[in-house]
């Protein structure tokens, strides 16, 4: 078992959907699962002063909880409030919810109600699969995915279901074997196993396909539909023969990938994940200085996603700073912003243009299309656009799907009239 570093109490929690704050947790690389501190859980949902005694009493009242420790738990060194390391009992997400169900406390009732609601929703979806599809659509829209991407993702799910149906027809019934075969397909076309691919994109429990670019997801679909057709055609009778069909399917997509990369001159295997594409409200709150700019960009309704701030890029023996980076979802272009305190002269503008061109040549893996540079001038009274690359958006306005600089200026004047900058 390989336990990753402990996350701090106030870090982003993997189960924020349930608003469980101040629970310490770690990631197990081998089991690919989160583990949560039982003591922290007891402290949140009870008024007891001795969590260890409370846990013992819970087990005495419900002996089935002991199996949670054996099959879903592990002891981990964690940092206490006093700064000292100590052995802490942790459980995975199943164990976490199972313990919550056993806690006879009013504090736990809201979460128990939430779990019951989710259980009822899932029961109804099993009875009526259409509800599950509708819920999936709503979840994707809530996360910021475009309708075109969602339709493609749903098609990929359909293709995967057809593939698993073929495996079942050819004597591969186990879900573990299905996962192994999918791993074979992924490794063959992308050069990475599913685990390696997720690590490359900085993912934990998240779906790999939900974090693929358009090109990646299309290649994965090609690999899986090819494997499905080859399996149907060759009629494999053993698991080893099914593995060969999976490799053959992945090879079809591998050929397509290499051909495309040769034309593009760069890899299509991207480290970007959905968090890079879409707005994270928590990130917006971190910076007061550039919040007005972000609010403006994200408020235009043009499907921008906020990526990050203050990225340093080494250029001509020195670093230049990209103050903010956005992702334009419809065109899959990065928008690089330079925020200045004064109007730049022509020489400085040309240097900025060179920096953006340099960024495009160096950052081959971060996005599918060339980045665009935009410059904002900030003073005490207003923010306005001074320069946009290429050519003030000129001929590329229609292709990129962005408004003219005049329209952007009007957005600024309307939304930032009361701006006060130090």
Q: Give 360-383 pLDDT, tens digit per residue.
A: 766 544 556 667 777 766 654 555
| Per-residue tokens: 161 | 């279901």
C-alpha span between 142 and 138 (Å, rounded): 6
Q: Which residue has the higher pLDDT, 286 or 223?
A: 223
C-alpha span between 339 and 322 (Å, rounded): 8
Whether the per-residue pLDDT at 404 is higher than 60: the answer is no
Mean pLDDT of the chain: 75
| Per-residue tokens: 81 | 């409030």
Other Cβ atoms less than 10 A from the Cβ of 88: the count is: 21
Residue pair 6/79 in contact (Cβ under 8 Å)? The answer is: yes
| Full-model pTM | 0.54
| Per-residue tokens: 173 | 């019934």
Find the mean pLDDT for residues 9-25: 58
Find the mean pLDDT for residues 385-389: 56
Q: Which helix (H) or strand (E) holds 218?
A: helix 214-234
| Per-residue tokens: 410 | 């009007």
DSSP letter for each residue of 294-359: HHHHHTSSS-EEEEEEEEEEEETTEEEEEEEEEEETTTTEEEEEEEESS---HHHHHHHHHHHHHH
Spell 291-328 as b/e; 16+ CB within 10 A means b: ebbbebbbeeebbbbbbebebebeeeeeebebbbbbbb
Q: Which helix (H) or strand (E) holds 406?
A: helix 405-415
Instruction: Count Cα atoms within 13 angstroms, Cβ side, for 194.
Output: 17
Length of the chain: 422
Q: Which residue has the higher pLDDT, 301 or 274?
A: 274
DSSP letter for each residue of 52-114: HHHHHHHHHH-GGGHHHHHHHEEEEEEE-TTS-EEEEEEE-HHHHHHHHHH---GGGHHHHHH
C-alpha span between 278 and 133 (Å, rounded): 22
- 8-state DSSP, 393: G
Residue pair 297/246 in contact (Cβ under 8 Å)? The answer is: no
* pLDDT of the residue at 406: 57
Q: What pLDDT, in 10s, does the model give residues 178-209?
A: 999 999 999 999 999 999 999 888 888 888 99
Q: What pLDDT, in 10s, does the model give residues 301-353?
A: 666 666 666 666 666 666 677 777 777 766 667 777 777 766 667 777 777 77
C-alpha span between 245 and 226 (Å, rounded): 9
C-alpha distance from residue 368 to each of 209, 254, 362 (Å): 17, 18, 13
Q: What pLDDT, in 10s, does the model give residues 66-93?
A: 777 777 677 887 777 777 788 888 888 8
């Amino acid at each position: 078992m390989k336990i990753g570093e402990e996350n701090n109490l106030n870090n982003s929690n993997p189960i924020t959907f349930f608003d469980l704050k101040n629970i310490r947790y770690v990631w197990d690389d081998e089991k690919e699962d989160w583990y949560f501190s039982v003591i922290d859980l007891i402290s949140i949902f009870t008024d007891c002063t001795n969590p260890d005694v409370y846990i013992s009493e819970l087990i005495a009242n419900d002996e089935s909880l002991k199996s949670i420790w054996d099959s879903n738990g592990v002891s981990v060194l964690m940092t206490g409030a006093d700064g000292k390391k100590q052995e802490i009992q942790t459980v995975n997400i199943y164990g976490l919810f199972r313990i919550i169900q056993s806690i006879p406390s009013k504090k736990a009732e809201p979460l128990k109600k939430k779990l019951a609601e989710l259980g009822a929703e899932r029961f109804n979806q099993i009875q009526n699969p259409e509800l599950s599809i509708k819920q999936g659509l709503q979840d994707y829209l809530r996360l910021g995915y475009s309708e075109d991407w969602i339709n493609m993702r749903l098609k990929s799910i359909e293709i995967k279901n057809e593939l698993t149906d073929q495996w079942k027809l050819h004597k591969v019934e186990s879900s573990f074997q299905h996962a192994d075969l999918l791993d074979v397909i992924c490794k063959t076309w992308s050069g990475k196993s599913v685990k390696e691919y997720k690590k490359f994109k900085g993912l934990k429990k998240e779906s790999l396909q939900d974090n693929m670019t358009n090109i990646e997801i299309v290649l994965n679909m090609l690999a899986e539909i090819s494997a499905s057709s080859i399996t149907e055609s060759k009629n494999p009778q053993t698991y080893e023969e099914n593995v060969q069909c999976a490799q053959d399917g992945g090879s079809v997509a591998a050929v397509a990938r290499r051909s495309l990369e040769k034309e593009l001159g760069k890899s299509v295997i991207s480290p970007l994940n959905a968090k890079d594409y879409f707005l994270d409200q928590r990130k917006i709150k971190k910076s007061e200085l550039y919040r007005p700019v972000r609010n403006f960009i994200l408020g235009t309704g043009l499907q921008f996603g906020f990526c990050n701030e203050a990225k340093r890029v080494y250029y001509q023996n020195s670093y230049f700073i990209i103050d903010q980076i956005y992702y334009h979802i419809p065109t899959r272009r990065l928008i690089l912003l330079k925020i200045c305190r004064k109007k730049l002269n022509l020489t400085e503008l040309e240097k900025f243009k060179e920096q953006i061109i340099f960024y495009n040549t160096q950052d081959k893996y971060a996005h599918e299309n060339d980045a665009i540079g935009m410059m904002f001038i900030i003073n005490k009274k207003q923010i306005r656009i001074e320069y946009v690359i290429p050519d003030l958006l000129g001929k590329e306005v229609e292709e990129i799907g962005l408004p003219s600089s005049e329209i952007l200026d009007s957005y600024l004047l309307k939304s930032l009239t009361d701006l006060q900058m130090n």
